[in-house]
Chains A and B, each alone.
Chain A
């Protein structure tokens, strides 16, 4: 089971710093949108390399080549 962690820092004055760990790609954006609705507008945003990774299955195509040599008479 996948788990998504969020570290939240609420400073005096109410400014919020979020650190989202776990979700890759655009799934992470849904958390940022959620907090934007709850708290207020985004002042600054930084994406890490994990954000740009894709989630989901990996498809592998395998091609096999066989060479058959005829035996000499």
Chain B
């Protein structure tokens, strides 16, 4: 062996990549994607967050590039009576808002944090696999552990 290294994810991506990560996370968590775009609901949503009827989370170290993105575009997910919305704010930050009247703020926050963790994992996985395949790496093995971590073994042959 040569080196062991730990890296912290930093996301700078366009909306399509974020959208793909959200969809992947939703699938693995058993959450349905209700719709990809819901224009005109942002102001009502901000009001509900201000009144503590909804919980808002910011994805740290994540910047969404605005190219090709409509101002009010968002992804809406539903799990039971909980609605989760993922969108880009005016400053380029990716936000998640969770709301559900029969759930406490703590429960909503936990579900929102689970979604954020999962979508970050899916984003990093998609990016790593794309870049490695473009550089001629071969995937030898891939599995998901009990802790939901993804283990990948790749190889590059050198002439």
Contacts and interface: CB of A to CB of B under 8 A. Distances in A.
A38 B121 contact: no
Interface string A7-30: 111111111111111111000100
Given A3-B158, A5-B154, A12-B149, A38 B3 contact: no
B43 interface: no
B45 to A, nearest CB: 25
Given A3-B157, A14-B123, A38-B131, A51 B151 contact: no
Of the listed residues B61, B151, B156, the one surrounded by the most CB atoms of chain A closer than 10 A to its CB is: B156
Main secondary structure of the interface of B (DSSP, over half): mixed
B155 A7 contact: no
Contacts of A36: 7
Interface residues of B, number: 38
A9 B131 CA distance: 16
Interface residues of A, number: 43
Interface in B109-158: 117-118, 120-121, 123-125, 127-128, 131, 135, 137, 140, 147-158
Interface stretch (A42-50, A56-64, A65-73): A42-50
A3 B10 CA distance: 29
6 contacts: A8-B152, A9-B151, A14-B11, A15-B6, A15-B9, A17-B7
